[in-house]
Amino acid sequence: SGVPTIAFNAQRQVGANVIKVIDGLLTQVDIINKEVLQPRGMHIENVYRETVYINSAIDLVLSNIYLGGFLAILALFIFLRSISSIFVIALSIPISIVTTFLAMALFGRTVNVISLAGMAFAVGMVVDSSIVVLENIYRHMQMGKTRWQAAVDATSEVWGALLASTVTTIAVFLPIMFIREQAGQLFQDISIAICSAIAVSLIVSITVIPTMSARILRVS
């Protein structure tokens, strides 16, 4: 439009939280616009922000959690016809995902678009082991066993197979963590997120799921 314009960027410090930095920056820009620039006929306009991609990645993770949880619940209800099974399985998704954030911190990795993509991929995997354990517990209860005995017997029966399945899945992604080239640096966060989520889901399936099943699971 022929209006003289100056373009400049704000550089955050290494390790700073992108979302907090952008939110704080936009707040200060609004203050500067109102108190300093507008009376002089000038204006600062934000034309690019990293948080657009970060927020879209967060939305992707949330949508996958909701969709994956809904489909898992629907499948359980169709095959088991048990409302209590829904509450048991529903625990595995949030526990696995929240614990993945802790695992990322232990590895010294920050939550970013790449790691959130890994969590989005992992959401569909974290319920697998829990569903296997729950279905086997349900089967043992149908055999006439008490809930506690069914939980113990069913978990003991399948935990070895679940361990083997989890290890083979992790083995696919684990080598990426040790790649030093650019590709390795790019996809390390995905590898850590997926491996952590799957490992935690195994622990949840042989600890939390049997315990909750022994308390609230009912055979319809």
pLDDT in tens, the chain (220 residues): 567 778 878 877 776 777 788 888 888 889 988 988 888 888 888 887 777 777 777 787 777 767 777 777 787 778 767 777 777 877 787 888 888 888 888 887 777 777 777 777 777 788 888 888 988 998 898 888 888 999 999 999 999 999 998 999 889 888 887 777 766 667 788 888 888 889 998 999 999 889 988 888 877 6
| Whole-number pLDDT of residue 81 | 72
The whole-number pLDDT of residue 220 equals 65
Which pLDDT score is estimated for 156?
A: 92
For position 26, what pLDDT does the model report?
A: 87
Cα–Cα distance, 199 to 206 (Å, whole number): 11
Q: What is the pLDDT of residue 158?
A: 92
Looking at residue 1, its pLDDT comes to 55
Cut 0.85: pTM above it: no
pLDDT of residue 164: 92
Residue 68 makes CB contacts below 8 A (sequence gap 6+) with 93, 123, 124, 127
